[in-house]
Structure 1
Amino acid sequence: MSTTVPEGKQAINEALELFHRRWMLRVIWELRGGGLTFRALQAACGDLSPTVLNQRLAELRESGLLEPEGPGYQLTAMGLELIDAFAPLSKWAVKWRRHRAG
């Protein structure tokens, strides 16, 4: 049996590793409506620490999901595709939560 990981499985594992980092999904989610300055993004994320926010912004830039926009940041086309990809998961999550609640 081959030990090679299929490309799709490897790709989803890499994406989930990125999203699993604390505050990462929240930062992405808060940028879904358009660009925000550092301070506005920090406030939207519940005043997370500047150090953590800077780390997440750097990781998102490196991943190609975020780009600087004037004095702030915005999602790239790939980042906006991610928001669209979350829509079915969000729908499923609401259904699942209702199921769990009885």
Structure 2
Amino acid sequence: MTTRSYGQFCGLARALDAVGDRWNLLIVRELLPGPMRYGELVAALGGIATNLLADRLRSLESAGVVERRLGETGGVTYALTPWGGELREAIEALVRWSTPLMVTGRDDDSFQPRWLAVALPALLNGRTSKTPAELGIDVPGLFMTLRIDKDGPHVTLAPDRRPATILEGQPEVVLGLAAGAITIDQALSGATVHGDRQVLATVLPGAQA
């Protein structure tokens, strides 16, 4: 496989040699919550040609970012290597940086609920609580839990149990509260809180107002 390179002895340039091609970081985003099958990646990345996805996966494998694994029920899954997983910090920084680009709204852009598992820890980076607080987040297509404790935010997709407090609404509302861009009063026009609002205030910045 021919690998394009900037030909520069610079950490940023060499990082972009490995993951800078179009779709590469979005593939990493999909794999941050856990391994996925090829068909799941095609569906989640809607718009990518299957031959291009195959090419990008080969490139990321060659770079040591992605590896193939045997799935629990057989078949091949794609997962991040430990080194590939270290891209979380860079991706979360880009998510935070993108906040001014997100306030214009969704428009006709596609959205996958799974993306919240990457966005929420990024937006809540540095937020801690001496007393752990756990919030269920129920958006169309997915249920997850968001926990804040002394170590920061943690997201669990499709948890085994549901916490006592649940925020049910559209993903735009959840993102707005996490970014502190909207208040809970504004959010309630498109969301419902089941349980203790104090838990919501502990977990999401916008819910404090």
Whose RCO is larger (CA < 8 A, sep 6+)? 1
Matches of 2:33 and 2:84, distance apart in 1 = 12
Count of aligned pairs:
92
Matches of 2:102 and 2:61, distance apart in 1 = 35
Higher-helix-fraction structure: 1
Matched, 1:92 2:97: yes
Structure 2 length as normaliser, TM-score? Answer: 0.40
Matches of 1:17 and 1:98, distance apart in 2 = 27
CA shift digits 1:36-64 (9 cap, x unpaired): 01101111110521210111001111111
Matches of 1:97 and 1:72, distance apart in 2 = 33
Matched, 1:38 2:38: yes
Give the match for residue 53 of structure 1: 53
- Give the letter aligned to residue 101 of structure 2: R
- Give the letter aligned to residue 39 of structure 1: G
Matches of 1:17 and 1:93, distance apart in 2 = 23
How far did 1:98 drift? 7.0
Structure 1 length as normaliser, TM-score? Answer: 0.76
- The 1:48–1:11 alpha-carbon spacing in structure 2 relative to 1, beyond 3 Å, is same
In percent, how many aligned pairs have the same letter?
30
Matches of 1:35 and 1:43, distance apart in 2 = 14
How far did 1:73 drift? 0.4
Secondary structure of 2:98's match?
A: helix
Secondary structure of 1:36's match?
A: coil
CA shift digits 1:4-56 (9 cap, x unpaired): x6x5xx12112124433121111111111100011011111105212101110
Give the match for residue 83 of structure 1: 88
Matches of 1:86 and 1:50, distance apart in 2 = 24
Given that 2:35 and 2:78 are in contact with CA atoms closer than 8 Å, whether structure 1 keeps it comes out as yes
Higher-strand-fraction structure: 2
- The 1:29–1:98 alpha-carbon spacing in structure 2 relative to 1, beyond 3 Å, is closer
